[in-house]
Amino acid sequence: MAARKKSGKSSGGEPPRRGRGRDQLELGLSKTEERAALHEVTQEKYLSYALSVITSRALPDVRDGMKPVQRRILYTMWQQRLTADTKHRKCAKVVGDVMGNYHPHGDASIYDALVRMAQPFALRAPLVDGSGNFGSLDGDPAAAMRYTECRLTPISAELLVELDEDTVHFRPSYDGTKEEPVVLPAKVPILLVNGATGIAVGMATNVPPHNLEEVCAAAIRLLDALVEKKALSARELCRTIKGPDFPTGGQIVSSADEIKQIYETGHGTLKVRGTWKLGPVSRAEKKLLVTSIPYAVNKALLVERIAEVVTSRKMPMLVDVRDVSTDDVCIELTLKREADENKVLAYLYKQTPLQTNFAVNLTCLVPTENPEVGRPERLDLAQILWHFLHFRLEVVTRRLQHELSALERRIHIL
C-alpha cells in the first residue's frame, strides 16, 4: 500500500481539527485552568501549609495538652486495650496501626513521639510504659521499633476512660474509613503537667512541666473562685504553683517576681542550673557531686564540655571530671584542696550547659465555634486552667446526658 502524502488538509479537503486553541496548546492549559500570578499562588499555598502545621501538627490543644500525633498514638493503644494491667506489645504494631488508620506521615516521626512519651526524663508524668531501650539522658537513641514494646501508664487511662460515653466530638480519619477523637476527655490538665514543645510556621510553643499536685490544687482554687464569681489572676495562682517542676531536677535561679511575670504574660526566660553537694575531702583534693542537671541538657555533652575546661586549664582549680551516674545523675568533679568551690561552679555555670536558659512560651490551640479546628493563642496561667475547667464541664455534661439516655432506654424496655 502506498503511503499517503502529508498535507495541510485531510482527505476530505478540510483543515486538521484542533482540540485546543493555540494559546492553550502552547501554555499546556486545560479548559478548566486559568492564568494566575505566581506570587498569589505561592502566598495562598504557603498560607494553607502554615495553617496546617499550626493546627494539625506542631501546637498542643489547651484542653488535653496533646498534639495530633500523640493523641492518635494514645487512642490507638486504647483501642488495642494496651492498658497498664496488660502485657507489653511491640511498638512496631502500634506505629503501623497509627500510620495506617489515622496519621498519614512517616513511621519515624510517630515512633519518635511514642518514645518521648515513654521517657521519664522528658515528661513529668510519662504516658507510655516502655519495655526495652527508650534512650537515655546522655542522648542515646532508642532501639528500633521492632525491638521495643509498650503499653499505657495508669495516668493515661485518666485521659481516655470517658471516650466511649459520647463526651467528645469525633471526626473522620484522613481516608474516611474510621473516626478519631478531636480531643481526648482528659481528667488531668496534662498540658501544664508534662509541658510541650513545638515549632510551627511563624510561631512556636515551649511549655515547661509542672508538679501534678500543685496544678490540680490551682485548678481547684480557680474553680472555687468561678463558683463564687470572683476573678483569680495568674499572679494569685502563683501562690499554689510556685514554678516549673522539671523531671531532671535542677534549680530555678530566677526570682519569684520574674516567674510571676512569665505566668502573667505567657512568655519569658527562666534560668535553670544543676544542683550539687560536697563530696569526700582528702589531703590533696576534694570532690563535688553534681546531682541534677538542667532540663533538656544532654548529660554526655555536659561532661564533655567540663572536660574541655579541665584539659585546656582555663580553670586550674578543677582537676578532673567523671560521670559516675547510675539510675540517678552523679557527675564527680575533682578540685584542689584549697580551691573555692563557689568560684569553680560560677565559672562552669557561665561557660558550660550546667546553667541554661529555658524560654517559656505558653502558646497553644484554644477551641473555636468549629469543634474540629483550634485557634493559636498565647495564654497566661489562669487562662490555661480556665479553658481546661470549661472543657471538663462540657465533658461531664455530655457524659451525664449519655448516661441519662441509656437509663431512659432501659426504663422504656422495663
Q: Of residues 5 and 276, which shows the higher confidence score?
A: 276
Catalytic residue list contains 147:
yes
Question: What gap in Å lies between CA 126 and CA 355, rounded to an integer?
Answer: 25
Q: Which residues, other chains included, contact 368 with Cβ-Cβ below 8 Å and sequence gap of 6+? A: 374, 375
- Calculate the alpha carbon distances from 42 to 12, 50, 55, 68, 135 in Å: 49, 12, 20, 26, 40
Look at residue 22 and tell me whether its pLDDT is greater than 60: no
Q: Do 201 and 53 touch, CB atoms closer than 8 A?
A: yes
Q: Give me the torsion for CA of 119, 123, 125, 126, rounded to 10°.
A: -30
pLDDT, averaged across the chain? 91
Q: Which residues, other chains included, contact 147 with Cβ-Cβ below 8 Å and sequence gap of 6+? A: 132, 133
What pLDDT score was predicted for residue 30?
63
- Calculate the alpha carbon distances from 26 to 29, 130, 200 in Å: 8, 60, 40
- Alpha helix segments (H runs only) across 195-282: 212-227, 234-237, 256-265
What pairs with residue 206 in β-bridges?
197, 361
Q: Do 183 and 62 touch, CB atoms closer than 8 A?
A: no
What pLDDT score was predicted for residue 32?
72
Convert the pLDDT of each residue in 360-388 to its tens digit: 999 999 999 998 889 999 999 999 999 99
Tell me whether strands 149-152 and 355-361 are parallel, antiparallel or unpaired. unpaired
What pLDDT score was predicted for residue 1?
40
Three-state DSSP state, 111: helix
Angle in degrees, CA 274, 305, 140, rounded to 5 = 80
H or E element in which residue 355 lies: strand 355-361
What phi, psi does 71 have (nearest 5°)?
Answer: -60, -40
Look at residue 27 and tell me whether its pLDDT is greater than 60: no
Q: Do 132 and 145 touch, CB atoms closer than 8 A?
A: no
**What average pLDDT does this structure show over 343-354?**
95
* Rg, C-alpha atoms of the chain: 29
Question: What gap in Å lies between CA 60 and CA 73, rounded to an integer?
Answer: 14
Convert the pLDDT of each residue in 33-77 to its tens digit: 788 899 999 999 999 999 989 988 999 999 999 999 999 999 999
Catalytic residue among 147, 174, 263, 295: 147
Look at residue 7 and tell me whether its pLDDT is greater than 90: no
- Which long-range contacts (C-beta less than 8 Å, at least 24 apart) are formed by 72-76? 72/98, 72/102, 72/103, 72/180, 73/98, 73/110, 73/113, 73/114, 73/117, 73/128, 74/127, 74/152, 74/156, 74/159, 74/160, 74/184, 75/102, 75/160, 75/163, 75/180, 75/181, 75/184, 76/101, 76/102
**What average pLDDT does this structure show over 297-323?**
95
- Calculate the alpha carbon distances from 292 to 273, 331, 379 in Å: 9, 9, 30
What pLDDT score was predicted for residue 100?
96
Q: Which residues, other chains included, contact 26 with Cβ-Cβ below 8 Å and sequence gap of 6+? A: none
- Alpha helix segments (H runs only) across 238-330: 256-265, 299-312
Q: Of residues 8 and 113, which shows the higher confidence score?
A: 113
Give the whole-number percent of the chain exceeding pLDDT 70. 93
pLDDT tier at 10 (50, 70, 90 boundaries)?
very low
**What average pLDDT does this structure show over 222-240?**
93
Three-state DSSP state, 393: helix
pLDDT tier at 283 (50, 70, 90 boundaries)?
confident
Give 165's DSSP letter: G
pTM of the model: 0.89
Convert the pLDDT of each residue in 124-145 to its tens digit: 999 999 999 999 999 999 999 9
What pLDDT score was predicted for residue 217?
97
